[in-house]
Amino acid sequence: MRLSKLTVVLALGAAGCSQPFTYPDLAKAKDTYAHAVKTGQPDAYQKEFTDAKKSIGTAQSAQDAQAAFERGKDPSTERDLSKEALYKAEVADQAAAVGKSDADRRAKEWELAGLQKEWDEKGAVVNDAAAKAEAERAAREAEEARKRLAKFADVKEDERGTIITLAGGIPFKTGKADLQPVAVDRLKIVAEALKGTQRTILVEGHTDSTGNKDKNLTLSQARAETVRKYLVDGGVAEGQIRAVGIGQERPIADNKTSAGRAKNRRVEVVLEKPKAQG
């Protein structure tokens, strides 16, 4: 009898210490958003912070309303909402990091110097007063687009040319190539920033290593084509831009972790280096 009473007490104690269920991505989204608020300037990036806060609230409400026996089920709308909340929190955190570091912003401006030179040279040959005024207006719009682009895009140079990668990637639903609304506004800015360049543009689609290799290659091509079409619709010359799927062959992070896989699921916009004349 004494042993039975002890067993009941221990069982009740264990039940009292259990933690309420939460999706890992939602928990991480809350931590990431808190970090962004603490280290950044929400007033300077109101859209990014507002989007993240609303998305976290939506995911929390969906989780709270979910039946206990359904929690943790994959796939599920609640899990997808948690993933979206994490993405938007990461965008807000990236904006906070950019706002905090003037040095980082200057570095990104240097990385865009090639584009700036092309726009400046194009404006320098305009002699007509009305045309000059139009060129100045276009230059102001391009500069605004580049500044907005620097808030959420990583820009670097390598042997291929200038590489633009959106922070947190371009989100697609699992196994789909349709753009989600969260990516549309950012691609508008990318299209605006690219309209002045004379370089050829390559859109590369990449996936993580999850699933079938051949299907990943096909999916990456479809996603690259989706982004290409959107940039063309945004004003980039159709004959100037092409798309190619890389699949899982060129990871930039460890596919063994969820964070690494998220980084590998990406679309890169490459402003190719001019080919040498020979």
**What are the b/e assignments for 40-73, b being 16+ CB within 10 Å?**
bebeebeebbebbbebbeebbebbeebeeeeeee
Measured CA to CA, the distance from residue 110 to residue 146 in angstroms comes to: 11
Average pLDDT over residues 202-215: 92
Judged against a pLDDT cut of 80, whether residue 277 lies above it is answered with no
Q: Which residue has the higher pLDDT, 143 or 2?
A: 143
Q: What is the DSSP letter of 18?
A: P
Q: What's the confidence (pLDDT) of residue 9?
A: 42
Judged against a pLDDT cut of 60, whether residue 7 lies above it is answered with no
Q: Give me 173's structure tokens.
A: 């639903």
- φ/ψ of 173, rounded to 5, equals -70, 150
User: Which candidate, 151, 183, 155, 115, places its Cα nearest to that of 268?
Assistant: 155
First to last CA, the chain: 95
What pLDDT digit, counting tens, does each position of 220-264 carry? 999 999 999 999 998 899 999 999 999 999 998 999 998 888 888
Q: What is the DSSP letter of 234?
A: T
Measured CA to CA, the distance from residue 182 to residue 26 in angstroms comes to: 17
CA distances in angstroms from 34 to 40, 55, 58, 66, 144, listed in the order given: 10, 14, 17, 25, 28
Measured CA to CA, the distance from residue 222 to residue 179 in angstroms comes to: 11
What pLDDT digit, counting tens, does each position of 131-177 carry? 777 667 666 665 665 666 667 677 777 888 888 886 556 666 667 78
Which stretches does DSSP call E strand in the chain? Answer: 153-158, 161-166, 201-206, 241-247, 266-272
- Which residues, other chains included, contact 240 with Cβ-Cβ below 8 Å and sequence gap of 6+? 200, 201
Q: What is the DSSP letter of 198?
A: -
CA 211 from centroid of its chain's CA atoms: 22
